[in-house]
């Protein structure tokens, strides 16, 4: 860490004329920079070998009525998710142009298009100026996160067209899929260009489910935002609510009691367990191995029924609150959890042995949908997808939250980046998760389960938090407004960074393998579209 | 091979191992029941997500697992609206999905039973009046059955579908 500080000092020296101001907020260094200088400094942080800053999130906030300006934030994770660094630049009211960093940092591609749609700010030099969130029928000038855009505006449908990237040539066909898919899946549009069987290009078009979550947060108070956070993505209800709670807790300087932290860890791992078990079955089913699906969906149901018995909700909703937990578990319940997870461990081990000796299954999974390490790094991929492509990144170990600092987590990493690697990451994580749950149940400290906030947040103060949900790193930024309300809440589901990476993993594969590759990523549409 | 058989024998039959729903069964009007009568004991469902958080989808998926196994009651999930007797719609209808939903409705053959699944589909839940939401399903299509819950448990969905299909409670063909 000492070296890192030295390197940072060096950058500050190099750019000392360009850094207007710097401060530490909640322990995170924040540098204020003129908008013209952003691309140069961002590229330096991204490309310097000793820093290797990954762009983790880029977002804007309309600071009105506090200040008549928009501020754009760039969050970098240095050296594989260790230290955070934030660059910030202000755009005065009426100034609609900012310099795009996408030509230097590929990961910024969707973020900048999102900022353009939500705030009407134009990323100058961005290679793709099409709309992202606002579909073609949105009225002109409807930039929903601007403060002068009422949250309950009734929008009129307008006519418009969306141009897809096209590949032309002899024998090249386009295959449009969606937004409504066969099976019980969320809506999204995939457009394949194929020549014969192999995919030449895939363009993913999302945001069909855009519900205005970030705008709706601004109607809620800091304390009540949890209920909306739970509905960002149903399968990650607990992960999102935990991430939101932690951001608000850091903002209100709440010290969460140890028992609450252990309980949170326990529930987060239970969520990981039921999702991973379900995914293993679903991936095998997409390779026409229905036996695994039958067993896995049975085990998944067993865990969800356990969730229901413990908390009264199958998706673990309504148990998190700012300051701790709204629900306690007694020792008898902990014993039940221990017994059930041990049963599932044995059950699942038998199944995984069956899976690994099945040659026809392995044949389908191996070398299918390879996401190269370089591509994954360029996209800033997170979670299971990153760990299957040789990127050793896990928030639980790199920036410990809740009780993870005391638990010494093992992080499985695989090199090949194919469907089988992603399946194996999940299988290894299932065993690790069960071991974590066992340790928590045995080491659970006694004491209170929630604490009250000690301070009131001033308008403009903010908190930031990261949680390793079962899909990957969830980020949440909460800025306080007047009277304990939320001024701005930015949520980044891991799906938002992994979706664009999927476009590259499918290249050269055949269309019938796409469902399999897509399932091995298993990304959220709701969390992406917000 | 022996491992697979051994595992299956060891587990035995798990179907039906779930707690009985404690929620009241949603009422189904007579005209809606009449719509289902021609299908006798089967119902082909097309699931359409118009902006839900994915929890309702997961519970619909759970209906097909070995524990609930909705197929034993003749409930099938089909891949196209053209094959569907009923549409199950989840989530508030978003501004971006409105047209797609109407397209699905148009391509579904009559008598088209419409089921609104979950609180969001019934009254938009927390997303009520949001700029990106154009209203509950009812505003766009005539709804026959409403299954409340956030999300409703699979056992509750199964009860509601059984009620729609006119199975009497306690009869052999029900649960």
pLDDT digits (tens, 9 = 90+) for B118-136: 999 999 989 989 999 998 9
| Interface test mutation site (partner B, options A187, A293, A469, max chain B beta carbons within 10 A) | A187
- Residue A526 has what pLDDT? 92
Q: Is the dihedral of CA B139, B145, B149, B154 positive or negative?
A: negative
| Interface test mutation site (partner A, options B1, B19, B23, B65, max chain A beta carbons within 10 A) | B65
Q: Is the pLDDT score of B174 beyond 70?
A: no
Is A159 within the bounds of a domain? no
Longest CA–CA separation in chain B, Å: 58
Q: Which two tokens stand for residue A321?
A: 């609150």
Mean pLDDT on A342-366: 91
ipTM summary value: 0.91
Over pLDDT 70: what percentage of chain A?
Answer: 99
With contacts defined as CB-CB under 8 Å, which chain B residues touch A307?
none
Who among A142, A153, A233 is closest to B53 (CB)? A233
- Residue A509 has what pLDDT? 93
Is A157 within the bounds of a domain? no
Number of folded domains that form chain A = 3
Say which CATH topology domain B29-164 has.
Rossmann fold (3.40.50)
Pairing relationship of beta strands A54-62 and A69-77 according to DSSP bridges:
antiparallel
Q: Is the pLDDT score of B171 beyond 80?
A: no
A235–B11 CB contact, under 8 Å: no
C-alpha distance from B174 to closest chain A C-alpha (Å): 21
Tens digit of each residue's pLDDT (9 = 90 or more) over A423-474: 999 999 999 999 999 999 988 888 888 888 888 888 889 999 999 999 999 9
- Residue B169 has what pLDDT? 58
A151–B80 CB contact, under 8 Å: no
B59–A314 CB contact, under 8 Å: yes
A17 and A99 share one domain: yes
Is A165 within the bounds of a domain? no
Higher pLDDT, A81 or A493: A493
Tens digit of each residue's pLDDT (9 = 90 or more) over A320-331: 999 889 888 888
A282 and A185 share one domain: no
Higher pLDDT, A94 or B90: B90
Is A135 within the bounds of a domain? no
Is A303 within the bounds of a domain? yes
Which of A205, A223, A251 is the last residue before a domain boundary? A205
Over pLDDT 90: what percentage of chain A?
Answer: 62
Is A444 within the bounds of a domain? yes
How far apart are the C-alpha atoms of A313 and A320, rounded to whole Å? 12
A298–B67 CB contact, under 8 Å: yes
A274 and A359 share one domain: yes
Q: How confident is the model at residue A1 (pLDDT cuts 50, 70, 90)?
A: very low
Tens digit of each residue's pLDDT (9 = 90 or more) over A153-177: 888 998 888 889 898 889 899 999 9
- Residue B173 has what pLDDT? 47
Q: Is the pLDDT score of B157 beyond 70?
A: yes
In this structure, the number of other CB atoms found within 10 A of the CB of residue A80 comes to: 14
Mean pLDDT of chain A: 90
Q: Tell me if A486 sits within 8 A of A501, measured CB to CB.
A: no
**Residue A9 burial by CB count (10 A; 0-12/13-18/19+): exposed, middle or buried?**
exposed
A197 and A255 share one domain: no
Q: What are the residue boundaries of the structural domains of chain B, listed by start?
A: 29-164
Tens digit of each residue's pLDDT (9 = 90 or more) over A181-194: 888 989 999 999 99
A308–B48 CB contact, under 8 Å: no
Is A166 within the bounds of a domain? no
A191 and A249 share one domain: no
Domain that holds residue A191: 172-205
A195 and A306 share one domain: no
Longest CA–CA separation in chain A, Å: 71
| Interface test mutation site (partner B, options A144, A184, A289, max chain B beta carbons within 10 A) | A184
CA distances to A83, A179, A245 from A80, rounded to whole Å, are 9, 35, 24
Tens digit of each residue's pLDDT (9 = 90 or more) over A139-148: 988 899 999 8
Q: Is the pLDDT score of B170 beyond 80?
A: no
B54–A180 CB contact, under 8 Å: no
């Amino acid at each position: 860490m000492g070296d890192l500080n030295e390197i940072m000092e060096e950058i500050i020296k190099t750019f000392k004329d360009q850094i207007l101001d710097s401060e530490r907020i909640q322990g995170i260094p924040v540098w204020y920079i003129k908008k013209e200088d952003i691309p140069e400094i961002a590229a330096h942080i991204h490309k310097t070998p000793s820093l290797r800053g990954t762009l983790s999130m880029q977002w804007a906030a309309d600071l009105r009525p506090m200040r008549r300006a928009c501020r754009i934030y760039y969050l970098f994770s240095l050296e594989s998710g260790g230290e955070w660094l934030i660059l910030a630049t202000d755009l005065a009211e009426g100034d609609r142009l900012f310099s795009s960093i996408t030509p230097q940092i590929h990961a910024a591609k969707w973020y900048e298009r999102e900022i353009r749609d939500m705030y009407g700010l134009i990323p100058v030099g961005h290679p793709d100026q099409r709309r992202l969130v606002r579909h073609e029928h949105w009225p002109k000038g409807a930039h929903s996160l601007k403060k002068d855009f009422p949250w309950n505006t009734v929008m009129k449908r307008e006519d418009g067209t969306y141009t897809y990237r096209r590949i032309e040539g002899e024998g090249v066909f386009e295959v449009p899929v969606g937004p409504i898919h066969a099976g019980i899946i969320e809506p999204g549009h995939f457009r394949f260009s194929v020549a014969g069987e192999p995919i030449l290009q895939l363009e993913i078009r999302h945001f069909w489910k855009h519900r205005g979550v970030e705008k709706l947060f601004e109607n809620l108070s800091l304390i009540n935002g949890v209920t909306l956070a739970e509905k960002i993505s149903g399968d990650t209800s607990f992960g999102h609510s935990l991430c939101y709670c932690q951001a608000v807790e850091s903002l209100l300087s709440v010290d969460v009691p140890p028992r609450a932290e252990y309980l949170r860890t326990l529930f987060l791992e239970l969520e990981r367990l039921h999702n991973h078990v379900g995914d293993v079955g679903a991936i095998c089913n997409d390779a026409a191995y229905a036996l695994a699906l039958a067993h896995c969906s049975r085990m998944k149901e067993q865990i969800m029924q356990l969730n229901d018995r413990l908390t009264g909700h199958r998706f673990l909703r309504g148990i998190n609150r700012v300051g701790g937990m709204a629900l306690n578990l007694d020792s008898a319940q902990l014993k039940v959890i221990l017994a059930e997870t041990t049963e599932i461990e044995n059950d699942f081990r038998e199944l995984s042995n069956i899976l690994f000796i099945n040659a026809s299954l392995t044949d389908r999974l191996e070398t299918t949908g390879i996401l190269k390490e370089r591509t994954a790094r360029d996209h800033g991929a997170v979670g299971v997808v990153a760990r299957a492509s040789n990127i050793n990144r896990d928030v639980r170990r790199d920036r410990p939250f809740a009780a993870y600092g005391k638990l010494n987590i093992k992080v499985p990493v695989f090199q090949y980046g194919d469907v089988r690697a992603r399946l194996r990451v999940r299988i290894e994580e299932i065993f690790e998760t069960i071991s974590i749950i066992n340790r928590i149940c045995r080491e659970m400290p006694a004491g209170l389960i929630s604490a009250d906030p000690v301070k009131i947040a001033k308008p403009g103060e903010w908190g930031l938090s990261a949680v390793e949900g079962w899909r990957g790193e969830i980020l949440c930024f909460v800025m306080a407004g007047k009277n304990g309300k939320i001024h701005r809440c930015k949520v980044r589901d891991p799906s938002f960074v992994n979706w664009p990476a999927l476009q590259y993993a499918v290249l050269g594969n055949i269309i019938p393998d796409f469902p399999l590759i897509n399932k091995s990523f298993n990304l959220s549409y709701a969390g992406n579209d917000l | 091979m022996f491992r697979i058989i051994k595992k299956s024998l060891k587990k035995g039959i798990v179907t039906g191992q779930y707690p009985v729903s404690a929620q009241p069964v949603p009422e189904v009007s007579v005209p809606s029941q009449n719509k289902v009568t021609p299908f006798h004991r089967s119902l082909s469902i097309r699931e359409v997500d118009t902006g839900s958080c994915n929890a309702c989808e997961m519970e619909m998926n759970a209906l097909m697992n070995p524990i609930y196994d909705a197929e034993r009651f003749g409930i099938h999930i089909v891949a196209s609206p053209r094959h569907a007797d009923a549409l199950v719609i989840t989530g508030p209808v978003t501004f971006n999905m409105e047209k797609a939903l109407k397209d699905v409705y148009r391509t579904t053959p009559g008598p088209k039973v419409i089921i609104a699944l979950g609180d969001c589909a019934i009254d938009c839940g927390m997303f009520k009046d949001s700029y990106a939401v154009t209203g509950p399903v009812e505003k766009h299509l005539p709804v026959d059955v409403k299954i409340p819950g956030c999300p409703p448990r699979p056992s509750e969905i199964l009860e509601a579908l059984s009620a729609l299909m006119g199975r009497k409670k306690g009869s052999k063909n029900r649960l």
